[in-house]
Amino acid sequence: MPRNIPVGNGEMLVAFDDLYRIRDLYWPHVGMPNHTCGHLQRFGVWADGQFAWIDSPGWSRDLRYKPDTLVTEVRLRNERLGIELICNDVVDYFSPVFFRAVAATDLHHHPRDIRLFFHQDLSIDESAVGDTVAFDPKTGGLIHYKDDCYFLCNGFDGASYGIDSWATGAKRIGDAEGTWRDAEDGLLSRNPIAQGSVDSTVGFNLTLPPGGTARVVYWIAAGRDYNAVHSLDEKVRIKTPQRMMDRSEAYWKLWASTPQADFSVLSSHLKDLYTRSTLIVRTQIDNGGAIIAANDYDITHFAGDTYSYMWPRDGALVAQALVLSGQSGLSRKFFSFAKRVIVRPGYFMHKYHPTGTLASSWHPWTMDGRPALPIQQDETALVVWALRRHFDRYPDVEFVKDCYNELVVDPANWMLAYRDHHGLPLPSWDLWEERHGIHLFTVCSVIGGLTAAAEFARDMGAHDRAAEFSEGAARMRTAMIRHMWDAERGLFARMATPQANGEYQLDFTLDSSAWALFAFGVLDANDPRVESHMNAVGSRLWVRTGIGGIARYHNDHYHQVERHRVDDVPGNPWVICTLWYAQWIIARASNIEELDRSRQYLEWCHARALPSGVLGEQYHPHSGMPISVSPLTWSHATYVTTVEQYLQRHSELSARAKRSSAAAAASESARAETQPPA
């Protein structure tokens, strides 16, 4: 089930599913560890003897955010119970405290006895073994703890602090389902402590006048020991829960108001998705600089692993979006993280934990019995390329000086050394992490990385290095055209496999990642070869259903839905692939009319987004529902980048049209002055 309305602050991340159940709680890093392991954290209502969990039938749900913030605004309504709930969730922008404010309103127009129940099913440090949960008389809340991870659950009903009732007990041991069952009669057992595989439920009692409203604020504070969570609880009481929520709302509005381009040429809903995308991207970035691909634990049921890692490729392309949207502080943190984890002599491994340690991988260290680097070379090249994009926009010489050797010189020297006799990169894994060979996307990214390194070297006065890097990029471009372009097909090969005779076996499967041809400055977007290939992408990879969108490549097997009509449905539509095509239209547009052809792809993304604005990785080609992880950081970042490129190109073309109009008017005026009198 896709994640919805994530809230976080770069230290704590809380994610909900479509039924408004908390499913993921990450702390102290975004993506590591998940203290719920994806299990349901239930929320229920007892009203005058009737009970319902909010995921049960009978509720209407509207899950959104407050505009331009990371504060949710969720509306829940149950006619049978006669209750409407308006819920606001936020993680304090500064401290690891998650808040949920609930305003309950009577719909039956008579006095009501209402009880709200919040269920905590924690598996601290991703294991339920050895957990403890206990009632804490000092704070009046419950504390879950193990080792150096403590979570304090507490609340405020407007009159007093502390929980009104609680239950602690066993979960998933024998017949024990968990304490959430204890809430369904409206009463909790008040067992003071439980140990092992445990969960807990807390309750708050409210009295509603006819048609009236009462409010509760519930929170979870995280810390390394009891004193830490107790201090945070004290902070909440001193500042008051509402003030802490208000200050976080103000902070995110300020954050989202970073000076940006003129959006007046775009419709308001596309601009809103842009702002929402920047905020959702922020929830997926750890304060230590790691840009996490996605934090949706449900993918473990498919792959036995998560997306909660930093892939240098994803990180670099997201960093580009951060640069374009004015978030230079976050892009600097990413490059500092990259400097810390890069491997000598100058390449990145497959992926990393947010702490910087090496993450899981399926790339082998041997190929055909011989040692092989378990890498995707484009990941190294794109970090260099993205660093240059950062420097072009924010020429922070002191910052670049500190990472010049590790993130420019060493990777560029390594990329030059890691070439074959034709000047193409040696085989590595592709960006889709499925094939080993020499890939068009990798070749283009390495050319972009070497070109960026040459620009840096030239700036630094290292003209010999600049010449060497430039020559390497030029030779690789020539080799790519000579060995990977087929004029008869009008296509570039997506992969070249070295043969014993020194030549290549070519794979011409159509792949949307040919976007790299112009995106990294290898060829012009108007180059006839690029036009031929991208036109094929637009026509042959478009999903011919009512959903539309562009697939990764022809007959894509990853989460494949349609296995028979692959010419009509070459794969599931992906956000990034659809927007890559839009970026090509933007790059080659010569007037506003041509540019506006790209807007249909922005509109497609808006149509695919959940009401909250969340974008997934890919979508079901018939139902349009998200497939795989959601939200995907890369999807939101690509939307931001595409909008920025659209706005920039619109400004350029508008200025050009004005100059042409002015020149034409001046010419007409000059002709009029030289005409003889009638």
pLDDT value of position 125: 97
Residue numbers of the domain that contains 140 = 3-243+250-256
The tokens describing 33, both together, are 């560890």
User: What is the amino acid identity at position 76?
Assistant: L
Tell me if residue 339 falls in helix, strand or coil: helix
227 CB-near residues (< 8 Å, 6+ apart):
none
In a domain, 230, yes or no: yes
In a domain, 337, yes or no: yes
- The domain boundary residue, chosen from 465, 495, 523: 523
Contact, 172 vs 178, CB < 8 A? Answer: yes
Question: Rounded to an integer, what is the distance from CA 53 to the centroid of its chain?
Answer: 30
Q: Which residues pair with 53 in a beta bridge?
A: 44
The CA distance from 607 to 677, in Å, is: 61
In a domain, 461, yes or no: yes
- Is residue 565 classed exposed, middle or buried when 0-12, 13-18 and 19+ CB atoms within 10 A define those classes? exposed
Contact, 151 vs 143, CB < 8 A? Answer: yes
Distances (CA, A) of 558 to 294, 547, 553, 653: 17, 18, 10, 39
**Residue indicated by tokens 């539309």:** 548
- The domain boundary residue, chosen from 226, 256, 286: 256
Question: Per-10-residue mean pLDDT for the chain, 678 residues long?
Answer: 91 97 98 96 96 97 97 98 98 98 96 96 97 98 98 96 98 93 96 97 97 97 98 98 98 89 92 98 98 92 88 98 97 98 97 98 95 97 98 96 98 98 98 98 98 98 98 98 98 97 96 98 98 98 98 97 95 98 98 97 98 97 95 98 97 89 77 68
The CA distance from 295 to 307, in Å, is: 6
Taking the alpha carbons of 628, 35, 281, 19 in that order, is the dihedral positive or negative? positive
The closest alpha carbon to 103, from 208, 233, 220, 237, belongs to 208
CA gyration radius for the chain? 28
671 CB-near residues (< 8 Å, 6+ apart):
none
In a domain, 629, yes or no: no
pLDDT value of position 666: 77
CATH number at residue 44: 2.70.98.10
Backbone angles phi, psi at 336, to 5 degrees: -65, -40
Contact, 559 vs 490, CB < 8 A? Answer: no
The CA distance from 345 to 410, in Å, is: 6
The CA distance from 407 to 387, in Å, is: 8
356, 479: one domain: yes
Residue 350 DSSP code? S
Contact, 313 vs 431, CB < 8 A? Answer: yes
Residue 630 DSSP code? S
In a domain, 21, yes or no: yes
331, 231: one domain: no
Tell me if residue 415 falls in helix, strand or coil: helix
CATH number at residue 479: 1.50.10.10
In a domain, 583, yes or no: no
pLDDT value of position 678: 59
Tell me if residue 556 falls in helix, strand or coil: coil
**Residue indicated by tokens 């008017």:** 665
- The domain boundary residue, chosen from 496, 523, 550: 523
- How would DSSP label each residue in 175-186? TB--GGGGGGGT
239, 328: one domain: no
195, 331: one domain: no
The CA distance from 187 to 200, in Å, is: 13
Contact, 93 vs 102, CB < 8 A? Answer: no
62, 160: one domain: yes
Question: Rounded to an integer, what is the distance from CA 162 to the centroid of its chain?
Answer: 36
678 CB-near residues (< 8 Å, 6+ apart):
none
In a domain, 305, yes or no: no
221, 351: one domain: no
81, 208: one domain: yes
11, 160: one domain: yes
pLDDT value of position 2: 78
Q: Which residues pair with 62 in a beta bridge?
A: 75
The closest alpha carbon to 536, from 517, 554, 510, 515, belongs to 510
189, 337: one domain: no
In a domain, 555, yes or no: no
User: What is the amino acid identity at position 557?
Assistant: H
The tokens describing 141, both together, are 């809340």
The CA distance from 512 to 549, in Å, is: 11
Domain count, the chain: 2
Distances (CA, A) of 424 to 128, 444, 473, 504, 588: 50, 10, 10, 11, 27
Contact, 389 vs 448, CB < 8 A? Answer: no
369, 467: one domain: yes
Q: Rounded to 5 degrees, what angle do the CA atoms 288, 10, 400 make?
A: 35
239, 329: one domain: no
